[in-house]
Structure 1
């Protein structure tokens, strides 16, 4: 919310501590590693000059990769931790559109349709913001279902003094197998969940352009991880497989619902957490730029730019 006061540091820390487990990627606080000081480079080598069609009303639904916590300035937003520099705000400004941004950190597909509870706040179902008057609806959801990404970060990354720090073995994979949990099966079910949300959107706004926004790379596509993404070597294949599977599930959900899919992995392969110009933060909390394992402003700018291109090419 532009112009809204930023919550105090104490309130922010309290809120984050309570909702971390339900954010898209669970985060670890108090990490001793250095917060990066190099500026995050603009994501586009050449800014888009594409002209998108006229959009009067734009509705944004999504989780924390849409809400963008700690990308200044962040509004408490009844516990949703929504930035006024997130891609919906940037896109609305570029389009000259009236924006209804109801994205909320921690949201699942069920939350979008049924509402969400954070702290003492009851968050209305995001779907209620979608009306027949909407010209554009973007949806960024799916990673929180079954706590997929949260599970990978909770179990597959750890501080430098932990068992994962030496990169040996596959402790995350071994633990999941011991618990009898099959992330691959859960990923397959995400497709149905996301498709259900998309069909509700198109039912409520039959004339709107609807775009499902994918997630970017956070792990290097090949090779090992890095100090700010401490994943054991033996777990890399599992984490990559789940991330790839989630992307396919979302792509298939968009196709099943007859809406567009914005492929961010195609443009983010060189901007993973360990890259020189990352779009996603690692295992550090920077209250001026991004929550742990959450997008920097560069990611939000990239999404807005890609959406302008998508609308112009398919307007």
Structure 2
């Protein structure tokens, strides 16, 4: 092979290699650089499974899951910085104040926000309204009893509806507080997926009467409507996990339901669970909903 042939081959090889180098240099950067997740146990996807609970971001008492939707979203988007402040039992007041958890103190959730935060998800309001606590009054051995209705509806006034309405300005202030601390962030507000429907329950599998299950289902719709109003008023984006969760409530079989009933056990994954909270399938649904909202 003469010198001219060798030069021609070298030139051709360089031309083939050049596009590869150029493609590497122009690789698409991450869509977001700093993601902060805020909220309560439904944001933490709280778990009692010792193999899933993590204290990477918060005290163990927050019961935050390794498989929470925020962690899935951060991984799918290859976000360089994730700070997940979500904690079981959190209320809007815990955005600006410390929350005492069973095994430590979770600093104010807003402390994780910075001016460079460009993605925020938040799921909050259920504990402010007291809906999660109300479920504890519903179990019964009598299929015709309605202990929840008897406790909350007095003289024609539904105190849970009053509580939900009172929580609305608190959720608005929370979203506005996020915007003040992270002015360039895209703020996604999640609602609560369908853990119970308005058509009734599945007594005695879940020991709540049809009357109380229907009431709980209506209150969940009211809660989500409040969150939608607050989100719109504060100028954020709503991620609707409820509307796309039909057929996956706590009465459905294992592998189909996205939220557990009263039994503190789940098959998704197998192990102890927090009653009336999303299981891993529910967390996966939340993650898919958020990713769809950002175009992934």
- Is the TM-score greater than 0.5? yes
| 1:282 alignment partner, one of 261, 275, 288 | 261
User: Which range moves more in the overlay, 223-232 or 206-215?
Assistant: 223-232
Q: Name stretches of at least 5 consecutive residues in structure 2 with no aligned partner.
A: 1-27
Over alpha carbons, which structure has the higher Rg? 2
What is the CA-CA distance between 1:309 and the residue it aligns to?
A: 0.9
| 2:64 alignment partner, one of 82, 89, 97 | 82
| 2:177 alignment partner, one of 172, 176, 200 | 200
What is the CA-CA distance between 1:170 and the residue it aligns to?
A: 2.2
| 1:59 alignment partner, one of 25, 36, 39 | 36
- CA displacement 1:150-191 (0-9 Å, x = unmatched): 11x1111x2xxxxx2232032321233459871111111121
Q: Which residue of 2 aligns with 1:176?
A: 152
- CA displacement 1:63-116 (0-9 Å, x = unmatched): 111112226511254221111110011000000012100110110011122221
Distance change (3 Å), C-alpha of 1:294 and 1:223: closer
TM-score by length of 2: 0.80
4+ aligned runs moved over 6 Å, structure 1: none
Distance change (3 Å), C-alpha of 1:265 and 1:146: closer
CA distance in 1, matches of 2:77, 2:257: 26
Distance change (3 Å), C-alpha of 1:96 and 1:111: same
- Are 2:41 and 1:93 equivalent residues in the alignment? no
Distance change (3 Å), C-alpha of 1:295 and 1:52: farther
Q: Which residue of 2 aligns with 1:16?
A: none
CA distance in 1, matches of 2:148, 2:207: 12
- Secondary structure of residue in 2 paired with 1:308: helix
Asked whether the 8 Å contact 1:131–1:204 carries over to 2, the reply is: yes
- Are 2:208 and 1:231 equivalent residues in the alignment? yes
CA distance in 2, matches of 1:209, 1:261: 11
Distance change (3 Å), C-alpha of 1:289 and 1:91: farther
User: Which range moves more in the overlay, 168-177 or 56-65?
Assistant: 168-177
| 1:271 alignment partner, one of 248, 273, 287 | 248
Q: Which residue of 1 aligns with 2:94?
A: 111
User: Higher relative contact order by CA 8 Å / sep ≥ 6: 1 or 2?
Assistant: 1
TM-score by length of 1: 0.76
